[in-house]
Amino acid sequence: MRKLLLSTVLSCMAFMSQADVTVMSWGGAYGTAQNEAHLKPFTEKTGIRTRMVDTDNAASPIRAMVEAGNVTVDVASIELADATRLCDEGMLEPIDPAKLPAGSDGTAAEEDFFHGGITDCAVGTDLWANIIAFDSTKFSGEAPSKAADFFDTEKFPGKRGLKKNPKAVLELALMADGIPADEVYAILETPEGRDRAFAKLDTIKKDIVWWEAGAQPPQLLADGEVLMTTAYNGRIFNAYIEEGKPFEIIWDGQIYELNTYAIPKGAPNLEEAMEFVRFATSTEGLAEQSRYISYGPPRKSSNAMEIIYKDEKTVMAPNLPSSPENRENALETSIEFWVDRDTELNERFNNWLIAN
């Protein structure tokens, strides 16, 4: 009995002595997806406890912690653009891609991840997209199917919902004007290319209903205020899966961005944090996250798996921006372009908005 008691005490002490891994994420459905797909299974496998803290955007608190020399977070879910900036500023721990797990088919991580999925200080967890959506009940005949249809108000007359921001709008305009996705930024770098994008927007300017928050596009469609709208793919997926809305997505011309896991410089539990990142960004870890939210895994091997939504019946491949069939004319947002051109193009865009 005394031996059993001692053994129990020692086991509890061993567990209590293990470091926690604190993950800072976005909260809401996104945080829930990471908690179910990454934190809970990691603890079950390793015995290392995990806890999640929510924030609107981890970049600012991470910068403040590192600058103050008081880092209380081990891993942070950060947009790729923010992770790149923080890495350049020396605020994130470097991550050796050679130490990331190979794909389930044996492919090295550096070859298995999509472009941008591995950087000096961050590893991709998922990608989300700006897409075009419509209400299928509004079309008795041919329905729109490509980016150019969004700008074709003769064939598909009606209002268009568009985000009140040049980012992902100028790119869409060029793709709708016939520029292949892989040539968009080369064209947009030139004065003539920017003129061409704004000229394309001119063709539908009088028909645009502007939106600013992600919850607005599904509501615009539901209320019949627009015939088509750009939107975040996750919002449209939730509308038709959770609410039964008759919405469909046009994947042609999708513009996607990456979210990542990064480790703040001076993380209190660096070794455990690295172990967590390797676990979560494995083929299976990334596929598992897409069971809870319609953001796509940025590994080819993950997309080759059959991923079923948490309802245990919806096949996720047609609903993910990362699926091969949805990436035929997809564009990865260029961080470098928008770092260089953000101020200039926002000013031009705002002046264009108020011009006749």
What's 87-127 look like in SS3? HHCCCECCCCHHHCCCCCCCCCHHHHECCCCECCCEEEEEE
Distance set, CA 66 to CA 69, 152, 265 (Å) = 5, 50, 6
Residue 162, helix vs strand vs coil: strand
**Confidence (pLDDT) at 17:** 42
**Confidence (pLDDT) at 14:** 39
Domain with 337 in it: 129-257+331-354
- Are 224 and 345 contained in the same domain? yes
- Are 272 and 214 contained in the same domain? no
Smallest Cα–Cα separation from 133: which of 7, 257, 23, 235?
235
**Confidence (pLDDT) at 9:** 37
Distance set, CA 339 to CA 343, 344, 346 (Å) = 8, 10, 12
- The total of structural domains in the chain comes to 2
- Are 242 and 313 contained in the same domain? no
- Are 144 and 199 contained in the same domain? yes
- Are 253 and 267 contained in the same domain? no
Neighbours of 321 (CB within 10 A): 24
DSSP code of residue 35: I
**Confidence (pLDDT) at 339:** 87
**Confidence (pLDDT) at 18:** 57
- Are 232 and 341 contained in the same domain? yes
User: Backbone dihedral region of 28: left (phi > 0), alpha (psi from -120 to 50 degrees) or beta?
Assistant: left
- Domain of 11, CATH number, reads 3.40.190.10
- Are 205 and 277 contained in the same domain? no
The pLDDT profile of the chain, 356 residues, written as one tens digit per residue, is 444 433 433 344 333 345 799 999 999 999 999 999 999 999 999 999 999 999 989 999 999 999 999 999 999 999 999 999 999 999 999 999 999 999 999 999 999 999 999 999 999 999 999 999 999 999 999 999 999 999 999 999 999 999 999 999 999 999 999 999 999 999 999 999 999 999 999 999 999 999 999 999 999 999 999 999 999 999 999 999 999 999 999 999 999 999 999 999 999 999 999 999 999 999 999 999 999 999 999 999 999 999 999 999 999 999 999 999 999 999 999 999 998 999 999 999 999 999 97
Model pTM above 0.85 = yes
